[in-house]
């Protein structure tokens, strides 16, 4: 999809991968709408790239009500939705805070679904649009100490695959991004939990988890949109694992060849 003149909405855009995606999208010619809780950081980035800032707490269902319509009232029709916002949690399940579980599911899984639901009718009516979901290797690999976070990312990956199937026969594209560990503040907090330490040490010893920069993920994501790629996966050395994880979905795709779900 050509991003020159396109309007791109990025959630979780106040820092990290989201802010980097916003910069790369702007460099590709897009007009970028930035969404996150920290409005002060959004406004700084908006001033830098000529975008717009839209404060929202994606864990609050009331703030999600009509959010796409409010953004479009300011920036016009959204051509690309990047569901990037995410929260992390780690630790043994029996010690998990239930309020944190609710918050993670709300931000990592429910909010992306609601935003897709809100943005899709307009995209379909215009015959133009692209949906991006920022998932994770954690949604593929079951590691100790990451049950809540991993399950939300696995759900996001499967949701995106199902939506892609729903959109067969339309001009709306999807891109699922599944990076491994990304060097960021979020990863530092996540990996500091002792429950994860042994698993991460084993992965490093086997050289499975090379450090990935925020900028590399952002650049690959924007390139994926430009090239119309359904999947963006880093690092490439884990391609076999991703292929095995996606095998059931690919089999379903083969079974569904020729099926058009549009009514």
Q: How would you class 55 by CB atoms within 10 Å of its CB: exposed for 0-12, middle for 13-18, buried for 19 or more?
A: middle
CA-CA distance, 91 to 159, in Å (whole number)? Answer: 25
CA-CA distance, 70 to 73, in Å (whole number)? Answer: 5
Catalytic residue among 14, 91, 146, 149: 149
Taking Cα atoms as reference points, which of 184, 140, 135, 172 lies closest to residue 156? 135
List b or e across 121-145, with b for residues whose CB sees 16 or more CB atoms inside 10 angstroms. Answer: ebbeeeebbbbbbbbbbbbbbebeb
Is the Cβ–Cβ distance between 116 and 110 less than 8 Å? no
- Catalytic residue at 149? yes
| Active-site residue list | 149
């Amino acid at each position: 999809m050509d991003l020159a003149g396109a309007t791109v909405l990025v959630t979780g855009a106040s820092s990290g991968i989201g802010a980097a995606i916003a910069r790369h999208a702007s460099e590709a010619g897009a007009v970028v709408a930035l969404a996150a809780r920290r409005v002060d950081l959004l406004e700084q980035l908006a001033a830098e790239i000529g975008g717009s800032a839209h404060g929202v707490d994606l864990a609050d269902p009331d703030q999600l009500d009509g959010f796409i319509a409010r953004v479009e009232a300011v920036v016009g029709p959204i051509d690309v939705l990047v569901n990037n916002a995410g929260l992390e949690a780690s630790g043994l399940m029996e010690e998990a805070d239930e309020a944190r579980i609710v918050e993670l599911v709300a931000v990592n899984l429910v909010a992306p679904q609601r935003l897709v639901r809100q943005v899709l009718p307009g995209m379909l009516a215009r015959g133009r649009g692209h949906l991006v979901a920022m998932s994770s290797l954690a949604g593929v690999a079951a590691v100790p100490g990451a049950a809540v976070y991993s399950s939300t990312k696995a759900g996001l990956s499967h949701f995106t695959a199902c939506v892609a199937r729903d959109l067969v026969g339309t001009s709306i594209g999807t891109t699922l991004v599944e990076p491994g560990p990304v060097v960021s503040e979020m990863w530092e907090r996540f990996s500091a939990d002792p429950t994860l330490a042994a698993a991460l040490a084993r992965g490093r010893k086997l050289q499975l988890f090379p450090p990935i920069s925020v900028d590399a993920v952002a650049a690959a994501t924007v390139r994926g949109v430009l090239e119309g790629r359904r999947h963006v996966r880093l690092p490439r050395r884990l391609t076999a694992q991703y292929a095995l994880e996606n095998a059931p979905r690919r089999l379903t795709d083969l079974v569904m060849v020729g099926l058009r779900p549009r009514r």
